[in-house]
Amino acid sequence: MQKQHQHNTPLAERMRPRTMAHFVGQEHLTGEGRLLNRFIEQGRIPSLLLWGPPGSGKTTLATILAHSLSADFIFFSAVLSGVKDVRRIVAEAEAKRGQSDKPTILFVDEIHRFNKGQQDGFLPHVESGLLTLIGATTENPSFHVIAPLLSRTQLLVLKPLASTDIQTIIKRAIDDPENGLGKQKLTIDREALEALARSADGDCRRALNCLETAATLVNKGNGHGEITTGILRIAAQQQALRFDNMGEEHYNLISALHKSMRDSDPDGAAYWLRRLLKSGEDPLYIARRLIRFASEDVGIADPQGLTVALAARDAYQMLGSPEGDLALMQAVTYLATAPKSNALYRMEHHIDKDIRATGSLPVPMHLRNAPTKMMKSIGYGRGYRYAHDQEDGLVDQEHLPAELAGTRYYQPTNRGFEAIIRDRLIKWRKILAKRAQANAKPA
């Protein structure tokens, strides 16, 4: 049975389910025989972390669990509450402990907003069983929840609601006469229903908020009214894509762009670029990532890639949005279709590994300049051979410290322009090897 609400309570809150039977979506957690139903059947739950996007049902599931177990449910917002409130809750739970068998479930919304010290405050009470903690977060717990708390809770991952789930919720809200819009005798055509579910982008709350606004715009002169796509456009104004420029979705979208370009898929790369731009990502941040990609994943297989990436950044700085967006699209498409090589990236890591292992090795004496007589007298520059004195411009001399002599850091691929460089290096090394053999023969 749904709880009765005041008339001015938002529709999304009025329609919040209070039993698992009324909950829609997250079947991997709520379906028959699945984890959350098992907890209810057993009559107890462990401390949980619910990680999922906005409007996916985190608060609702926590409330359903608490009510199903007849627990003392305490709602706690990391935005509005602090350490003093935690101490008060702990004191109240300790006072009730000897008087009642009812567990105390502390639901902490946006737990990622607590700093390390504040999160530490939960540990002893979770460990002792005084409190059952249910934390909700839209951010990756690996980055925002301390390891000791992670180890004492069970992580449940919620997904964005499917379009079909949101359609079910919308129809339920339109038909419900007690908590929904049923008394208004509204209807919604199929096209509008599907459009509203799509525009919600997996967020149930967003869908219900838009529905509630649309309901106020419907012409109900005859006591009935139909919600159409035109009314929804007025109600929604502009769709805001799910994004957080400092959070998980930021890194997911950038990763998708980077991997699409690396895999030489211009279609995927162009799609993720537009998603980033429409979500509000800083275009110059994208440009910086393209410049890095041009060296890390294209490299000398197509040296023009770096020039294109730099030009795209300059073009955007000159034009801004929306005109400059196309320059970024040009760079993304060019880099996605360019031959790929990570030889520079691998070379960088190989060199760093050797530097860590060998420290500050001295520069070989023949490679040092000798600007003074004293430096020349102690061997600076001795034995150096000037390449331009050779007809082919090649000299057989070592340019690495003795401990690393002969190491080949640059391993060019056989793709793009790098294939030409690879063939050139092979040819030069053969010439130098023959010359070394000729010099080694006795006169």
* Residue 311, C-beta contacts closer than 8 angstroms, at least 6 positions apart: 327, 331
- What CA–CA distances, in Å, run from 168 to 165, 171, 193, 261, 382? 5, 5, 10, 38, 84
H or E segment at 154?
Answer: strand 154-157
- The residue type found at 67 is H
pLDDT of residue 264: 95
DSSP string, 15-56: T--SSGGG--S-HHHHSTTSHHHHHHHHT----EEEE--TTS
What the block records as the tokens of 94 is 């300790």
CA 23/CA 161 separation, integer angstroms:
12
Is 194 in contact with 165 (CB distance < 8 Å)?
no
H or E segment at 157?
Answer: strand 154-157
pLDDT of residue 2: 46
CA 197/CA 189 separation, integer angstroms:
12
CA angle 284-288-289, nearest 5°? 115
- Given a cut of 70, the residues of the chain with pLDDT beneath it are 1-7, 79-83, 98-100, 219-224, 237-248, 442-443
Q: Which of 102, 46, 95 is nearest to 73 (CA)?
A: 102
CA 138/CA 46 separation, integer angstroms:
20
CA 410/CA 428 separation, integer angstroms:
14
pLDDT of residue 271: 94
Which class is 367-440 in CATH? mainly alpha
Q: Provide the residue ranges of all domains of the chain, joining segments of one domain with +.
A: 26-157, 163-236, 248-337, 367-440
CA 428/CA 4 separation, integer angstroms:
84
CA angle 344-347-350, nearest 5°? 155
CA 254/CA 243 separation, integer angstroms:
11
For 45-144, strand residue ranges (E) read 48-51, 72-77, 104-109, 132-137
CA 236/CA 207 separation, integer angstroms:
9
pLDDT of residue 415: 94
CA 191/CA 233 separation, integer angstroms:
12
pLDDT of residue 23: 92
Q: Report the DSSP beta bridge partners of residue 186.
A: 225
Is 23 in contact with 17 (CB distance < 8 Å)?
yes
Place of tokens 């400092």: 246
Q: 198-207 burial by CB neighbour count: b if 16+ within 10 A, else e? A: ebbbbbbbbb
Architecture of domain 248-337: Up-down Bundle (1.20)
Query: What's the CATH fold of domain 26-157?
Result: Rossmann fold (3.40.50)
Dihedrals φ, ψ of 154, to 5°? -100, 125
Residues in the chain: 443
Architecture of domain 163-236: Orthogonal Bundle (1.10)
Specify the 3-state DSSP secondary structure of 155.
strand
pLDDT of residue 407: 94
- What CA–CA distances, in Å, run from 134 to 59, 122, 318? 9, 11, 49
**Mean pLDDT, the chain, integer:** 87
Strands 104-109 and 72-77: parallel
